[in-house]
Amino acid sequence: MDTALAYTPALDSYDFGPGHPLRPERVSLAVSLLSAYGLVSSPDHRATYGLRPLPVEPADPADLLRVHDSSYVEAVMRASAYPGAPAGHGISPGDTPAFRGMHEAAALVAGGSCAGMRSLLAGDEHRVLAPAGGLHHAHRDRAAGFCVYNDAAAAIALALAHNSRIRIAYIDIDAHHGDGVQETFYTEPRVLTVSIHEDGRYLYPGTGSYRERGEGPGAGTALNIPLPPYATPECYLLAFDRVVAPAVRAFAPDVLVTQNGADAHWSDPLTTLGMTIPGYESLFARLVTLAEEVTHGRMLALGGGGYSWQTVVPRAWALLGASLLGVTLRDELPHAWRERVRLYRAEPPDSLRDDAAPPLDRDTSALVMHDTAHVVDRLRDDLGLA
Of the candidates 260, 244, 259, which has an alpha carbon nearest to the alpha carbon of residue 294?
244
Whether the Cβ atoms of residue 319 and residue 284 lie closer than 8 Å to each other: yes
Set 89, 136, 137, 177: catalytic member: 137
Let me know if 15 is exposed, middle or buried by CB neighbors in 10 A (0-12, 13-18, 19+): middle
Catalytic residue check, 126? no
Amino acid at 92: S
CA 104 to CA 87: how far, in whole Å? Answer: 16
Strand order in the sheet with 168-172: 52-54, 3-6, 127-130, 299-302, 255-259, 168-172, 191-198, 222-227
Return d(Cα 385, Cα 379) in angstroms, integer. 8
The three-state DSSP-derived secondary structure of the chain is CCEEEECCHHHHHCCCCCCCCCCCHHHHHHHHHHHHCCCECCCCCCCCCCEEEECCCCCCHHHHHCCCCHHHHHHHHHHHHCCCCCCECCECCCCCCCCCCHHHHHHHHHHHHHHHHHHHHHCCCCEEEECCCCCCCCCCCCCECCECCCHHHHHHHHHHHHCCCCCEEEEECCCCCCHHHHHHCCCCCCEEEEEEEECCCCCCCCCCCCCCCCCHHHCCCEEEEEECCCCCHHHHHHHHHHHHHHHHHHHCCCEEEEECCCCCECCCCCCCCCECHHHHHHHHHHHHHHHHHHCCCCEEEECCCCCCCCCCHHHHHHHHHHHHHCCCCCCECCHHHHHHHHCCCCCCCCECCCCCCCCCCHHHHHHHHHHHHHHHHHHHHHHCCC
Catalytic residues: 137
